Amino acid sequence: MGRRRLPRRGWIVTTLSLLALMMVPASPVAANPVVEPVAADPSVVRAADGMYYMYTTADDWGDGQGMHNMSMFKSFDLMDWMYVGDVFPDLPEWHPEGKLAWAPHVLESGGGYSLYYSLYDESNPCIGLATAPGPTGPWTDLGRPVFCAQDVGIEGTIDPFVWDDGTSKTMVVGNFRGIYAIPLDGDGAAPVGEPVQIADDRFEGPFITFRNGYYHLFLSAGNCCNGGDTAYRVVVGRSRSLTGPYLDRKGQDLNEGGGALILAGSDPWAGPGHNTVVTDDAGNDWIVYHAIPRDDVTLPSGAQRREGMIDRIVWADDWPDVGDGSPSSTRPQLPDTDLPVRVSLTADDSTTLPENGGTIAATMVVAAPEDQPYAGQVWASVTPPDGGISDPIFGPIDVDLAPGEVYEEPISYAVSADAPNGTYDVYAFAGTFDTETVEFGALNGVKSGPQMTDVAKRVSAVVWRDGA
């Protein structure tokens, strides 16, 4: 393989993935989404290891694996995401058969991690809780609800968000039956006070940030799931108190018809909403949410493509603005994360392969930051359909780059005609092989039989033969 060192002209981080229907990142500079094909109701937390972790609602990705019961992803830079498993590979005993978990909210708490989630039932929806020593588990369910709607005397106990100020915990919850703040006990495992309504019945998906003395309440309005016609959108109000009143820019109470619109659909994207807010290493805030591509609404599983998105928030007079108010309108801005190196994989040729297999050809780009050198190792590996990570298909090799220097390497992976059905992720890594990864990128391609043509439109390398 030939190798080139180039003067740096600017790096592009791309996470794609060689995998059928896996949630895989698209090119961050070119466009959203950052996670495909489904990443509904994302919750993002920065863990003690410095990485970002994302958690999403249960969904059927259309990958032949059935329902994924809340999925987990990790990223160094908020743009390139790697699937790392499901929160509940086995259903907790108290969950009714067929009821999967929605709308996770994760926070670091007491040296571990707490994951609150919705368990929907039309007559008595409940909030659950699982805890783990680390951001990817193993997750231990509480074994009972934190509370259900009938326990607290409200109807819409869906979409939990927990505010933890270090001394007390308050759950903010609700979906189109009013948004309520409910005090929790010290363990965050039971209600200990009366609900206080902080927004009316037009909203769901609450998320709160605190800035310059104001609590900012982000809410989603409209139907989340009406395909390309959905009018889901994000509005904001702010208050000096966690329990309100929350007012919009005009001073109107969110309990009385108020709400400042900051993000709505566009020609390419429908229904942006159910957001979280995360901060990069430069102190910039980013709104992470899901939206539906109007030109490709539904997976063969019947699930909507509520894809993972990210855009920059700019604060003006302590009010958040998102570009022109539509998805992707803050591009080409990208999160600023302190990484020792940047890694990307980009396709050299078509990544759609015939049923008899072929080779995915790519270029790995390793770029040192402008202000510091990078010395370490780089390699590439594959995640096969049965899980795990392969031995390196390239490297590991040592690189020693001056500030701003770029190293390029051609990478290829052959998918044989008799390769097993399923998904294949190809990742390029930097760090110290087998002990420490400091950055990664990925590429996707498709080996597609007729069953996979639609689902694999933007995603990974698929092996799915007729009759399988």
Active site residues: 41, 204
Pairing mode, strands 342-347 and 319-321: unpaired
Q: What single DSSP character describes residue 282?
A: T
Which amino acid is it at 278? V
Taking a C-beta distance cutoff of 8 angstroms, is the pair 174, 156 a contact? yes
- Rounded CA separation 168/174 (Å): 20
Beta partners for 290?
273, 308
Provide the 3-class DSSP secondary structure of residue 161: strand
Instruction: Say how many CA atoms lie within 13 Å of 173 toward its Cβ.
Output: 34
User: In angstroms, how far is CA 197 from the centroid of its own chain?
Assistant: 29
Say how far apart CA 107 and CA 178 lie, in whole Å. Answer: 24
Positions of E strands within 99-194: 101-109, 112-119, 126-132, 140-141, 147-148, 161-164, 169-173, 179-184
Any alpha helices (H) in 382-435, and if so which ranges? none
The rounded distance, in Å, linking the Cα atoms of 356 and 263 is 44
Both tokens of 17, joined, read: 């993935």
Alpha carbon separation from 223 to 59, 121, 272, 274, 422 (Å, rounded): 18, 18, 11, 11, 33
293, two tokens: 């591509």
Q: Which of 17, 146, 141, 14 has the alpha carbon at shortest distance from 70? A: 141
Of 116, 182, 187, nearest to 149 (Cα)?
Answer: 182
